[in-house]
């Protein structure tokens, strides 16, 4: 499990934050190292995308976009802030 597969990348976009790890875009070794590797064979994300698209900063809001992943979530695994 050194290289990330397309399915691992798809799971990265899950709206369920408990399964949306996989931060090493091409090398999954980093996810194993940091504990963010969650993929198992046959596993598919419940849904992909943004849980609350309106919460995401608009195009051009660079600082807000950089801070967006660090915001406090409203509920566990909701994907919204």
Average pLDDT over residues 34-45: 76
* Same-domain pairing of 35 and 1: yes
Banded pLDDT at 73 (limits 50, 70, 90):
low
* Same-domain pairing of 74 and 38: no
pLDDT (0 to 100) of residue 80: 46
Q: What does the DSSP 8-state code read for residue 27?
A: B
pTM: 0.50
SS3 60: coil
* Same-domain pairing of 28 and 59: no
* Same-domain pairing of 9 and 39: yes
Length of the chain: 81
pLDDT (0 to 100) of residue 81: 42
Per-residue pLDDT at 78 exceeds 60: no
* Same-domain pairing of 2 and 33: yes
* Same-domain pairing of 44 and 55: no
In angstroms, the CA 47 to CA 66 distance is 23
Domain holding 2, by residue range, is 1-49
In angstroms, the CA 28 to CA 51 distance is 25
- Number of domain units in the chain: 2
* Same-domain pairing of 33 and 57: no
């Amino acid at each position: 499990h050194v290289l990330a597969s397309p399915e691992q990348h798809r799971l990265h976009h899950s709206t369920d934050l408990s399964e949306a790890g996989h931060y090493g875009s091409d090398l999954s070794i980093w996810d194993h190292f940091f504990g963010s590797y969650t993929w198992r064979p046959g596993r598919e994300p419940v849904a992909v995308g943004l849980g609350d698209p309106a919460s995401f900063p608009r195009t051009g809001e660079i600082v807000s976009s950089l801070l967006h992943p660090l915001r406090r979530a409203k509920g566990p695994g909701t994907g919204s802030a």
